[in-house]
């Protein structure tokens, strides 16, 4: 499953692996990240970083100049689904997009590097990177995890904990692009359909494969 990554385990004594996380909305990425943090990982919310970076006033102004005011949603933030659609749907804009997206990715990498090396005790950087995968960009990850939970489990959890209804979950899932593709790309799948204790045990099992002992 993890193939060469397991062979790399020894090398990771010297290089901190970057673990990218993917999964449907509400699948449990934050829960998994929390367990990894308890195991000493440095967790970076790339989604939040990208959101912040893309919402810098300068970037917002550039996006508006290219794509018009509709690129900004009612909440005053960049409509990321709109951006993703433009990236895939309008090839002529790809060159222009690089001007926006590359600094965002650059910032992410820089932040990841800084955080990872700020504390010698950290074992890894975990990136929650759905936005970047959404727009077809690879963050440089050594291992990709896919957090898997059924539609029923996710719906129940987000209804109870976030007050979302079925339509809201469906809309967010649609904005994330193909989950099948992400699942296929993953080096490791963590199932999160059972209770939290089972998921924690699974994350620990994964960590024991990855981290140098």
What mask of x and - would describe binding to ligand ATP in positions 82 to 121, judged by CB under 6 A?
----------------------------------------
50-70 burial, b for 16+ CB within 10 Å, e for fewer? beebbeeeebbeebeeebeee
Number of residues engaging ligand ATP in binding (CB under 6 A): 15
Figure out which of the listed residues 18, 19, 22, 31 binds ligand ATP, where binding follows CB under 6 A.
31
Q: Minimum CB separation from ligand ATP for residue 132, in Å?
A: 13
Q: Is 5 in the site for ligand ATP (CB under 6 A)?
A: no
Q: Give CA–CA dist 28/128, Å, rounded.
A: 11
Residues 114, 116: Cα–Cα separation, whole Å? 5
Q: Which is nearer to ligand ATP, 7 or 197 (CB)?
A: 197
Q: Select from 6, 118, 196, 209 the one that contacts ligand ATP (CB under 6 A).
A: 196
Going by C-alpha positions, the residue among 104, 175, 96 that lies closest to residue 137 is 104
Task: Tell me if 71 is assigned to a ligand binding site.
Answer: no
Q: Are 26 and 175 in contact (CB under 8 A)?
A: no
Phi–psi pair at 183, nearest 5 degrees: -60, -40
Which residues in this chain contact ligand ATP in the complex, by CB under 6 A?
23, 25-31, 157-158, 161, 192, 195-196, 199
């Amino acid at each position: 499953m993890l193939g060469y990554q397991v062979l790399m385990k020894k090398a990771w004594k010297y290089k901190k692996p970057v673990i990218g996380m993917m999964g449907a909305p509400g699948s449990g990425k934050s829960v998994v990240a929390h367990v990894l943090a308890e195991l000493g990982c440095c967790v970076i919310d790339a989604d939040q970083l990208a959101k912040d970076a893309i919402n810098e006033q300068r970037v917002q102004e550039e996006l508006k100049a290219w794509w018009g005011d509709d690129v900004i949603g009612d909440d005053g933030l960049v409509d990321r689904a709109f951006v993703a659609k433009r990236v895939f749907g309008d090839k002529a804009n790809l060159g222009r997009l690089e001007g926006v997206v590359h600094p965002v990715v650059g910032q992410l990498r820089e932040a990841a590097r800084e955080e990872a090396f700020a504390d010698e005790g950290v074992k890894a950087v975990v990136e929650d990177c759905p936005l970047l995968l959404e727009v077809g960009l690879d963050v440089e990850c050594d291992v990709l995890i896919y957090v898997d939970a059924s539609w029923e489990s996710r719906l129940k959890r987000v209804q109870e904990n976030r007050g979302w209804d079925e339509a809201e979950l469906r809309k967010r899932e649609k904005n994330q692009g193909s989950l099948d593709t992400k699942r296929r790309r993953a080096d490791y799948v963590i199932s999160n359909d059972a209770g939290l204790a089972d998921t924690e045990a699974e994350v620990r099992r994964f960590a024991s494969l990855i981290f140098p002992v």
